[in-house]
Amino acid sequence: MIKQALNKRYVRVLATITFALIAVIAFMLLSGTKADAKTIKIKTPAQMRNINWKNKGFGPGNTYKLCNDMDLATDLPNDEYGYVLLTKGKFTIDLNGHTLQSTDSRVTVISNRGANVTIKDSKAKKQTMSHPSIRSYNFGAIEMTKGSLNIKSGYYLGRSDGTNNPVGLYVGGGKCVVNGGTFDGEFVGASTASSGKLYINGGKFIGRYMFALMHFGGGTIKISKGTFTNTWQNYTIPTFALGKQNIDGKTYSFKKWLASGAKFSPSVRTLYWTGQGNTGVTNLCHSLLHIRSTT
């Protein structure tokens, strides 16, 4: 009798432990806890091109950390493009003091089309124009048309092979928050279009031959802080460009931008308006604007 009772008690305890273990495992699988996330070291261009895809051993939910400089067009199969495409899920990319570039002139280096992406360079102090975090040889360093993007640090360089006008950052849709970093474009430092939302809380924006920042054809730009510089010597090319829409003194308030600590250089040519004439613009902050119509 005693032996039977002990056996029954043992079975009950074992069943309870088994049930508890199953419950814990099920919870972790269903909830997608942080315990599932991991840091994956990227050593080859092929690995970096494939971080979007679970069926290739990568996928969302992880931090991807570069281990060396690389060109995404290296060893490129005939049916692929030399870029990083992100479509859904959460990704963190740490450029880790290295340069990610693509000599494939058909694409940007990183294209966000629906994912929740954070990009940073944990060793950004090392990065310069000659050794940037991301270098594009056409179009731009980073583009997004959907999803969300948070950029914390890094040097993003857009250069051209002569066939396009590259930018450091292009926001054609979704929401991008810039908290730091340098966006250096041969054409434009950063640009919005369509439904893109660009919120700037810091960082440096450099336009080499055109604009530091451009709103063209739609989108929203809000500035809290930042430095905006035009290095082109032609005085007719301003530091800042806006499309005709949204010039209403609400979305774009230069007085608020300047009061918040935003810096424009050269300040005498801050605004380029692509609309008809300049009615309603001159009163925003006339002493700091150079207004030039396309007609």
Q: Of 294, 224, 227, whose CA–CA distance to 266 is shortest?
A: 227
Q: Write the pLDDT tens digit of every residue in 72-130.
A: 999 999 889 999 999 999 999 999 999 999 999 889 999 999 999 999 999 987 788 88
Q: Residue 295 has what pLDDT?
A: 27
Query: What percent of the chain is modeled with pLDDT above 90?
Result: 41
Q: How far apart are CA 172 and CA 182, in angstroms?
A: 19
The mean pLDDT of 231-260, rounded to a whole number, is: 49
Between 62 and 275, where is the model more confident?
Answer: 62
- Which residues have CB under 8 Å from 129's CB, separation 6+? 155, 157, 184
Summarised one tens digit per residue, pLDDT across range 263-272 is 666 543 444 4
Segment 34-48 mean pLDDT: 86
At residue 16, the pLDDT reads: 61
2 confidence band (pLDDT: 50, 70, 90): low
Q: What is the pLDDT averaged over residues 135-164? A: 89
Q: What's the CA gap between 290 and 295, in Å, rounded? A: 15
Q: State how far the Cα of 295 lies from the Cα of 276, in Å rounded to an integer.
A: 6
H-state helical runs in the chain = 2-31, 45-49, 254-260, 282-285
Tokens of 64: 């991807």
pLDDT tens per residue across span 66-85 = 999 999 999 999 889 999 99
Phi, psi of 240, rounded to the nearest 5 degrees: -130, 135
Give pLDDT, residue 221: 77
Q: Which residue has the higher pLDDT, 146 or 275?
A: 146
Which pTM does this prediction carry? 0.76
